[in-house]
Amino acid sequence: MTWLDEVVRANPDYVESMYQAYRRDPGSVDERWGLLFAGYEWAREGAEPAIADLVHSYRELGHLVADLDPLGGSPRTHPLLQLEELGLREQDLDRVVDWAPLHGGGRGPLRGMLRALAETYTGTLGIEYLGISD
């Protein structure tokens, strides 16, 4: 029997007791259980899928708020680029997230990623490429 079989077939009360022990002291459970619970905690936070949506939204809609009007009349916000619309909150801005959807790797604060997205997709050069087909 593999370790994954052990997890799948485990008594739910046992798994719950292991998880509670992990939450009190991560070192108190076997390393494999600790990795499983750490992954669960990470996935439960839920912001990571929203990061990919955030990057895609800026790529798709950033040109709509780009600073292209020399007289300064360009809209600087769009309702579909608001944090709440993308499943994020103001509290998430200082959270360290995976930057892979933006430039292929690394981790950093969400606030920094938003700044990079704005510089890339909403500056004085608007980029719209998602609608271009081969």
Q: What pLDDT, in 10s, does the model give residues 53-78?
A: 899 999 889 888 888 888 888 788 88
With a cut of 90, say whether residue 38 has pLDDT above it.
no
pTM for this model (two decimals): 0.61
Task: Give a yes or no: residue 130 inside a domain.
Answer: no
pLDDT for position 18: 82
Angular region, 46: left φ>0, alpha ψ -120 to 50, beta rest? left
Domain count for the chain = 2
Least confident of 29-38, 44-53, 75-84, 100-109: 44-53
Residues 57 and 110 in one domain: yes
Task: Give a yes or no: residue 126 inside a domain.
Answer: no
Question: What CATH number is associated with residue 113?
Answer: 1.10.287.1150
Average pLDDT over residues 35-50: 68
pLDDT for position 126: 65
- 97 is in which domain, residue-wise? 46-121
Average pLDDT over residues 104-113: 84
pLDDT for position 44: 59
Residues 29 and 94 in one domain: no
Query: Do the Cβ atoms of 26 and 41 come closer than 8 Å?
Result: no
Closest CA to 40 of 62, 76, 68, 16: 16
Residues 38 and 80 in one domain: no
Task: Give a yes or no: residue 105 inside a domain.
Answer: yes
| Diameter of the chain measured on Cα atoms | 70
Mean pLDDT of the residues in the chain: 82
Closest CA to 123 of 85, 76, 82, 78: 76
Residues 54 and 93 in one domain: yes
Task: Give a yes or no: residue 82 inside a domain.
Answer: yes
